[in-house]
A and B are shown apart, each in its own frame.
Chain A
Amino acid sequence: MVSATKPEMPVSPRTSARMATSSVGTTVLGWLAFVSLVATAVLGLVVSPRDVVTGDAVRFLYLHVPVIWVAYGAFISCAIASALFLWKGKSRADRGRHLDRVAGASAEVGVVFTALALITGAMWGRITWGVYWQWDARLTMTAMMFVSFLGYLALRRLPTEPSVRSKRAAIAALVSSVNLPLVHFSVDWWRTLHQEASLSVDEAEITGNMYSVLLFSSVAFVLTGIWLVAHRYRVIRLEEIRDDEGLELAIAARRAEAGVD
């Protein structure tokens, strides 16, 4: 039986468990997110009044807008972590692995939330426009952003040397991030079917109860997004530990076979 030899660095079971699954902070955050999501469903489906123009279709606002905001935030986080990885990664003690994990976890959450934005947008469009999809600037750019970050996630799964994979992924993240301003400002730069921003610094398109419900649902989805990124980060870290251990065991086995001490 061959065992891998590693530097002794004992970790208490309590610390190990936190690293593995969750901490007190993420547990509290998770429950806060869950309760606020349930409240969002009640507020959006029951409490919110009908809109005078779009009627009950306004209830999609409390899903569609917050999920795309979370997607934006996740992709911005991915882009910043990727840029820092390329800039400072080599000089860091962990060779930029922390930044690479942040980028990977954020991008995956961003892709899930972009998919939800596309689905809820299509359903909302079916009610207000009469069609699920139009090759409108906003919709098309969002679909392109979704596909480009899917490509980024595919790149992260390629079987290659981890540092090479991280570098390629970081470059792909920065290229994909070019879509972000194009998506956001597409409604201002081109004539589109999609409405302009519901909330802006100068003037809000909605007020009263609808405004309050939109703000509440945004907080709920942001909390959920942060919780998901934190947990996905930990899973990536555990996967790295497993891969490192597997590699070291394989090397030790080969050395034993060859009779090398």
Chain B
Amino acid sequence: MDHAGMIIAGYAIVFATVLGYGAAIVARGRRLARELGLAEGEEPQSGQSREDP
């Protein structure tokens, strides 16, 4: 393959960015869910609403 280094670097940058960004979003969602007591298996605290108005 000609220019193999450049081509493989391009693929690596794209896939690493997309997967890294996706992982960061999921991690942030889970962290916020824990902060708010919404993590899987946890009951919301009494008197707290999680629904939109």
Count residues on chain A whose CB falls below 8 Å from chain B CBs.
56
B29 x A63 contact (CB < 8 A): no
Interface of B (DSSP majority class): helix
Please give, as numbers and ranges, the residues of chain A lying within 8 Å of B9 by CB-CB distance.
123
Bound together, the chains give a CA A98 to CA B52 distance in angstroms of 9
CA–CA, A242 to B9, complex, Å?
A: 39
Whether, in the assembled complex, A19 has its beta carbon less than 8 Å from a beta carbon of chain B, the answer is: yes
Inter-subunit contact B52/A116 (CB<8 Å) = no
Question: Within 8 Å of chain B (Cβ to Cβ): is A119?
Answer: yes
Query: A112 to chain B: which residues have CB within 8 Å?
Result: 17-18, 21
- Flag whether A196 is at the interface (Cβ < 8 A): no
Interface positions, chain A 1-47, Cβ under 8 Å from B, are 3-11, 13, 15-17, 19-22, 30, 37, 41, 44-45
Query: A242 contacts B36, CB within 8 Å?
Result: yes
Pairwise interchain contact A16-B49, C-beta atoms closer than 8 A: no
Shortest C-beta distance, A47 to chain B (Å), equals: 13
Known: A17-B38, A120-B14, A238-B32. A9 touches B25 (CB 8 A): no
Inter-subunit contact A13/B42 (CB<8 Å): yes
Taking CB atoms, residues of chain B closer than 8 Å to A166 are none
Interface residues of B in 15-53 (CB under 8 A from A): 15, 17-19, 21-22, 25-26, 28-30, 32-33, 35-36, 38-44, 47-53
